[in-house]
Amino acid sequence: MVKTDIIVVGAGLVGLSAAIAFSKLGKSVVLVDAKKSEIKKSKTWDERIYALTPATEKWLKALGVWQFLDETRVNDIHAMHLWNDNLESSLILTDSDANLTKLGLIAENRNLIYALTNKLHTLGANIHAASGLVVKNASCKSIENTGQAICLTLDDETQVSAKLLVAADGAHSFVRQQMNIATKNRIFHQTAIVANFLVEKNHNNIARQWFASHETLALLPLPERHVSIVWSLSTERATELLLLTSQQLADCLQTRSSNALGALKLVGEVLSFPLNQATATQLIAERVVLVGDAAHQVHPMAGQGVNLGFRDVIAVQDLLAKTHAMQDIGEHAFLRQYERVRKADIISMSGLTSGLDALFASEQLMLKKLTNFGIQQLNRQGTMKKILIKQAVA
């Protein structure tokens, strides 16, 4: 039996950051995942990218992760341009509107995983480590709560006992299912097409997003005149587009983006995945907290999914930092604090994505006119822009 303070299940971005954050607080941590974290660099662009807020960047720097990131593959965002088919009602937000140096940045999943994994290694994280952090590459088999501790049995029959288990094991969370925590689900009947392109015109570090009825297209700036696109549209239409040649797809994108970046040339693969929204009905169980996609999924329209997951970890980290040596970090009253802190943020983000999708999807002429009018007015209101930006980059 391996005894530790905290078990973290799931070694994606959120799970890795959680293991690092808790270990830096002096807690002994066992990180469990069926797959070994990818630590290889690659010259090709990763199709999986994330828009990180300045607050997320600041936190990752504080964890000591940023020094391992390849910053030549990171691109700052200095402005956001949002529009629909009525280009006259487009909304432009800039970092100068809120007296910021940037609105965020774009980074690849592979680059972030590499940085987090290498930071983990500096903490002595390997299966034979005598330090407080151990990484175990094995699948979860069962979970038992003894009242005084929670015991995780792995498929190699290793047993790990801890005061607290942090579930960072994704949308299909094994831990959440074992705890019988239900989810509120919404199926958008949409598919996201994800790919990288070389563009003819300079993107000028602007994140662009075009909206239509149940359809969005994001063009996110990458270094060396590349962009990452996330095109969310009906599954039926997505299926048709995925049958096109790379040139035909590029031509469709050029048209849909109002020729904002000129001609596009595909770089790498084209990926796709169905869009669903699932929110856990509770964020805690006995000696268990849910973080990241195990707790919530949101529509990629907001681009805030990974930031939301990092904020979950920060909330647990802040609570742990305030505990005393004899406090039981798995007790219900302690975990309830986490749930109260996080619920408002999660509900707000879920409502924002659903609301935007419904707003731009409206077929009512009057609502469309009001939406366009509202965007035009917002463009003229510096104070409202500043408030909107501050909320978006928190």
Q: Report how far apart, in Å, the C-alpha atoms of 153 and of each of 16, 144, 367 are.
A: 20, 8, 55
- ∠ Cα 10 174 109 (to 5°): 30
Residue 256 lies in a domain: yes
Average pLDDT of the residues in 245-259: 95
pLDDT score at 127: 41
Which residue, among 295, 243, 245, 277, has the nearest Cα to 356 in the 3D structure?
277
Residues 264 and 287 in one domain: no
CB 13 within 8 A of CB 120: no
Percent of the chain with pLDDT over 70: 82
Give residue 39's domain range.
2-62+110-184+278-355
Residues 227 and 333 in one domain: no
pLDDT digits (tens, 9 = 90+) for 134-164: 888 899 999 999 989 999 999 999 999 999 9
pLDDT band at 371 (very low <50, low <70, confident <90, very high): very low
pLDDT band at 28 (very low <50, low <70, confident <90, very high): very high
Which residue, among 257, 282, 296, has the nearest Cα to 339 in the 3D structure?
282
Residues 119 and 175 in one domain: yes
Residues 136 and 30 in one domain: yes
pLDDT at 365 over 50: no
Residues 210 and 344 in one domain: no
The residue whose two tokens read 């303070």 is: 5
pLDDT score at 359: 47
Residues 209 and 285 in one domain: no
Residues 88 and 222 in one domain: yes
Specify the higher pLDDT residue, 166 or 82. Answer: 166
Residues 121 and 179 in one domain: yes
pLDDT at 349 over 80: no
Residue 132 lies in a domain: yes
Residues 288 and 349 in one domain: yes
Residue type, 327: Q
Average pLDDT of the residues in 297-316: 83
Residues 338 and 249 in one domain: no
Residue 25 lies in a domain: yes
pLDDT at 393 over 70: no
Looking up residue 219, the CATH number of its domain turns out to be 3.30.9.10
Residue 293 lies in a domain: yes
Backbone angles phi, psi at 162, to 5 degrees: -150, 165
Q: Say how many domains are in the chain.
A: 2
pLDDT band at 36 (very low <50, low <70, confident <90, very high): confident
Residue 68 lies in a domain: no
pLDDT band at 89 (very low <50, low <70, confident <90, very high): low
Residue 67 lies in a domain: no
Residues 121 and 266 in one domain: no
Residue 344 lies in a domain: yes
Specify the higher pLDDT residue, 163 or 388. Answer: 163
Q: Measure the CA–CA gap between 183 and 185, rounded to whole angstroms.
A: 6
pLDDT at 247 over 70: yes
The residue whose two tokens read 């990458």 is: 222
Average pLDDT of the residues in 294-313: 83
| pTM score | 0.89
Show the tokens assigned to 362.
């409206």
Per DSSP, what are the bridge partners of residue 144?
151
pLDDT at 351 over 60: no
- Ranking 15-19, 37-41, 115-119, 179-183 by mean pLDDT, the lowest is 37-41
User: Under 8 Å CB-to-CB from 186, ≥6 apart: which residues?
Assistant: 276, 277, 278, 354
Residues 243 and 388 in one domain: yes
Residue 69 lies in a domain: no
pLDDT band at 342 (very low <50, low <70, confident <90, very high): very high
Looking up residue 119, the CATH number of its domain turns out to be 3.50.50.60
- Ranking 37-41, 260-264, 280-284, 365-369 by mean pLDDT, the lowest is 365-369
